[in-house]
Amino acid sequence: MDRADEWVSGPGTRHSLKREYEKFGKQEYARLAGISVGHLYNLRNSQRYRKLSAVYEGTRPTAVSIGERRKPDPQGRPGFLRVDTVHQGDWDGAKGVYHINAVDTVTQWQIVGCAGKISEQYLMPVLEAILHQFPFQILGFHADNGSEYINRTVAKLLEKLLIEFTKSRACRSQDNALVEGKNGAVIRKLIGYGHIAAPHAEAVQKFYTAHLNRYLNFHRPCGFATVSLNERGKRTRKYKVEDYQTPYEKLKSQPEARGYLKKGMSLGQLDKVAGQMSDTECARKMGEAKRTLLRKCKMESPLPPRFD
C-alpha cells in the first residue's frame, strides 16, 4: 500500500487499511486494519521495512555527443590546450568577471582572457582572441564538462579551425590538472580573490593582452618535471634547477619549433618581443599596470561599499 499510495501520512494509511478489510472485505488486511499509527511509523523507520518497500530508480545519464571524452595525447607537439574558467566571485548578488585560462600542454604557453559573462555572446569573442594569441598552430582543445564550453557554438568554432575537441573523463581529476594548477598559481596569486564587477571585463581583457600574457610567456619561468618509472610502473616527478624555463624557451628548444608556428610568424619576431625588456623590468611594468587596473576597478565599482 505504501508503494501504491507513495507513502501518505500514518493516519491516512491506517484509514485505508481499515477500509480494505471492512468495506472491501479483503481478509489479508484483518490484522493490519487494527494497527496503531505509532506502530506503523515504527515499521516505516526500520531498516528492513525500508529495504523491502523502497523503490530505487537510478539516474539516467544523458549522452552529450559534443567533444570526445578522453585525455589529449600531444606526443610532444605544442598546440594542445587545456582550458578552464575562473570566476572572480559575487558581491551582494552582483556577478564578477570570468577569467578564461588556456595553457598549452607541452610548452605551458599560457593565454588568459576575461569575459563579463559566460554566455555565448560574451564568451565567444574572448575565446577567439585567446586562440589568436598563441604563436603556434592549435591542434587540440580540452576542457572539463562545463556548459560554457560543451555546447554547439564552441564545437562549431573548433570544427571550423580543424581543432580536436576533447573533454575530461569521469573520476579522472588529472585530465585537466595542468590548467587548474595555473588557476591558483597565476590568476589567484596575481589577481587575488577580491570582487571585480562584470562591467570591468573589457579593461581586464586589455590588461591581459598588453601586459600579463607577455610576462607569463616570455619572462616567467615554469617547471618542467622529469618523469621516471620505478620497477612497479609508478611515475615519479622531480624538478631540477635546469628543468625551469620560460614557455618561449621551451618552445624554442623543440626540434621542429619553426614548423609549429602559425603562418606569418617566425622565431625572429618572437625573439624581438622577448628581448625588449628584462624579466624583472617586465614584471615591474606588469605589476604597475595591475595595481592601476585594480584601483580603477575598485573606485569605479557600481556597488556601494559594504561594512561587515
Q: Tens of pLDDT along 255-274?
A: 999 999 999 999 999 999 99
Give yes or no for residue 234 having a pLDDT over 60. yes
Q: How far is CA 306 from CA 91, 297, 303, in A?
A: 9, 16, 9
* Cell reading at 51: 529495504
Tracing cell 523502497 back to the chain, one arrives at 54
* CA atoms of 97 and 255, how far apart (whole Å): 39
The size of the chain, in residues, is 308
What is the per-residue pLDDT for 288?
96
Tell me the average pLDDT across 79-104. 92
Q: Cβ(91)–Cβ(116) under 8 Å? A: no
Give yes or no for residue 191 having a pLDDT over 50. yes
Which residue did the predictor score with more confidence, 86 or 65? Answer: 86
| 170 alpha carbon, distance to own chain's centre | 14
Confidence of residue 63 (pLDDT cuts 50, 70, 90): low
Confidence of residue 252 (pLDDT cuts 50, 70, 90): very high
Q: Are strands 68-69 and 164-167 parallel, antiparallel or unpaired?
A: parallel
Confidence of residue 54 (pLDDT cuts 50, 70, 90): low
What is the per-residue pLDDT for 186?
93
Give yes or no for residue 251 having a pLDDT over 90. yes
Tell me the average pLDDT across 49-54. 76
Give yes or no for residue 301 having a pLDDT over 90. no
Confidence of residue 199 (pLDDT cuts 50, 70, 90): very high
Encode 136-171: b = buried (16+ Cβ within 10 Å), e = exposed: bbbbbbbbbeeebbbeeebbebbeeeebbbbbbeee
Q: Cβ(79)–Cβ(260) under 8 Å? A: yes
Confidence of residue 85 (pLDDT cuts 50, 70, 90): very high
* CA atoms of 106 and 136, how far apart (whole Å): 12
pTM of the complete model beyond 0.85: no
What is the per-residue pLDDT for 203?
95
What is the per-residue pLDDT for 307?
42
What is the number of other CB atoms lying within 10 angstroms of the CB of residue 308?
A: 2
> Helix (H, G, I), strand (E, B), or coil: what is residue 7?
coil
Nearest to 83 by CA among 103, 99, 69: 103
* Cell reading at 242: 635546469
Q: What percent of the chain has pLDDT over 90?
A: 55
Q: Domain residues of the chain, as ranges?
A: 2-53, 68-299
Q: How far is CA 19 from CA 8, 10, 29, 119, 300, in A?
A: 15, 14, 9, 57, 71
Give yes or no for residue 305 having a pLDDT over 70. no
* CA atoms of 291 and 120, how far apart (whole Å): 30
In CATH, 68-299 is 3.30.420.10: yes
Phi, psi of 99 (to 5 degrees): -90, 130
Confidence of residue 64 (pLDDT cuts 50, 70, 90): low
Q: Which of 44-53, 134-143, 192-201, 239-248 has the lowest mean pLDDT?
A: 44-53
Give yes or no for residue 58 having a pLDDT over 80. no
What is the number of other CB atoms lying within 10 angstroms of the CB of residue 179?
A: 24
Q: Write down the mean pLDDT value for the chain.
A: 88
* CA atoms of 70 and 193, how far apart (whole Å): 32
What is the per-residue pLDDT for 61?
61
What is the per-residue pLDDT for 132?
95
Tell me the average pLDDT across 79-97. 90
Give yes or no for residue 303 having a pLDDT over 80. no
